[in-house]
Amino acid sequence: MTTSSQRLSFTLVLGSLAALGPLCTDFYLPSLPELAAGLGTTTATAQLSLTAGLLGLGLGQLFFGPLSDKLGRMRPLLASLFILLLASIGCSLARDISQLLAARFIQGLAGAGGAVLSRAVARDLYNGHDLTRFFALLMLVNGLAPIAAPVMGGALLSWTDWRGLFMVLAAIALLLLVLSVWRLRETLPASRRTPASLFGVYGGLGHLATQRQFMGLCLTQGFSMAGMFAYIGASPFVLQQIYGLSPQSFSFCFAANGLGLIAAAQIAARCSIRFGELIPLKVGLAVAGVASSALVACGVFRAPLPMILTALFFSVMINGLIGTLASSLAMQSQGKNAGSASAIIGVGMFALGALSVPVTGIGGTSVVTMGLTIWGCYIIAILIFTFVVNKKVLA
């Protein structure tokens, strides 16, 4: 980028692409109860549409990430956006829950392209604390998605139904396709691409999986994000059906937590300059453990809604700090294989998130089941960091 305006537009488009994951999951959240009724299915089955999308987001990154190390970033990105457009239309036209689950899985696969390639492009351009700051900037941009998506979705439900929301997603995919062609450029020249065959490129994922500190950081972030996805999947039912919030009120609660995510990411960037990435990451994991424990206690003792929302806020917002720092540390060790490394980070987040969502519905979705799932994910993240990442750093 040669001018500040070009750099800003590049960052905005890149951040929007990184936001495709949360956009595909958060935008239709206020309509989940209506969707379940409209398709004549149960709450737990309707939640599987979220699980299907998250699985697609995870597996799709394993496809698009290594492919971009071989072919460059732009061609896989444009292909993913075109497929996202078609899949979003398919979700809108689904006649039963089975068709919706299939379309949601494909939608997730396609949405993974933007998520994985935005991190790979950032690694093409930056390293060290510059990479941490750029990830924080991306979090600032794509953090608007968890804020705006449910608010927009809740507002649009006043004049359309859940099918209309998926058509809006199709329009967003088309807009991003146009903006990517117009504003982005290839950041991985042919001289830096992986010379191996496609089979060899995908086989290289196994080599990354043997790197202890890299995988420890990926799993630390993955289980932390799984806790947040448990919140995403359970909160519409907890706050709307149990506590009686309207879709619009739920959307504003969701937006407040999104603002917390953005603030925590910016704190992470500032702290990394003074203290490095490891110390703030340790603090963030400790906060996650305390906040999620408080959420469980609120559920067990039937605390009033304001106390639950406060504990939920801190349980969610800390992911902005953990995600920024863990991603930066993991990606800093990977230059040539940035696409593959980004894919492993992404599949950890979304695959583990897909597994955590249905756990919140065991025995009926409630504050207790949501809180216990979030707490369990955070405790696993803390243990992995303590005995895999931190032990390796100290060795």
Which range has the top average pLDDT, 10-14, 230-234, 331-335, 384-388? 384-388
Among candidates 342, 373, 308, 350, which has minimal Cα distance to 25? 350
Which of residues 84 and 364 earns the better pLDDT score?
84
Query: Which amino acid, 276?
Result: G
Q: What is the pLDDT of residue 74?
A: 92
Record the pTM: 0.74
Among candidates 333, 77, 266, 280, which has minimal Cα distance to 180? 77
Q: What is the pLDDT of residue 382?
A: 96
d(CA 318, CA 313): 9
Q: What is the pLDDT of residue 138?
A: 72
Q: Is the pLDDT of residue 370 over 80?
A: yes
Residues 6+ apart with CB under 8 A from 379: 289
Q: What is the pLDDT of residues 100-139, one digit of tens each?
A: 999 999 999 999 888 888 878 888 878 777 788 777 777 6
Which of residues 22 and 355 earns the better pLDDT score?
355
Q: What is the pLDDT of residue 70?
A: 85
H or E segment to which residue 346 belongs: helix 338-359
Q: Is the pLDDT of residue 395 over 60?
A: no
Domain boundaries, the chain: 7-184+209-394
Q: What is the pLDDT of residues 73-111, one digit of tens each?
A: 999 999 999 999 999 999 999 999 999 999 999 999 999
Exposure class string for 11-23: b at 16+ Cβ within 10 A, else e: bebbbbbbbbbbb
User: In 3-state terms, what secondary structure has residue 98?
Assistant: helix
Q: What is the pLDDT of residue 392?
A: 57
Among candidates 218, 215, 208, which has minimal Cα distance to 322? 218
d(CA 214, CA 123): 15
Give the 3-state secondary structure of 127-182.
CHHHHHHHHHHHHHHHCHHHHHHHHHHHHHCCCCCHHHHHHHHHHHHHHHHHHHHH
CATH topology classification for 7-184+209-394? Growth Hormone; Chain: A; (1.20.1250)
User: In 3-state terms, what secondary structure has residue 351?
Assistant: helix
Q: What is the pLDDT of residues 21-77, one digit of tens each?
A: 778 877 888 888 889 888 988 877 888 898 899 888 878 888 898 888 888 999 999
Q: What is the pLDDT of residue 1?
A: 42
| The pair of three-digit structure tokens given for residue 140, joined into one six-digit string | 């600032």
Q: What is the pLDDT of residues 132-187, one digit of tens each?
A: 877 777 766 666 665 677 778 888 888 888 899 999 999 999 999 999 988 888 88
Q: What is the pLDDT of residue 394?
A: 46
User: In 3-state terms, what secondary structure has residue 245?
Assistant: coil
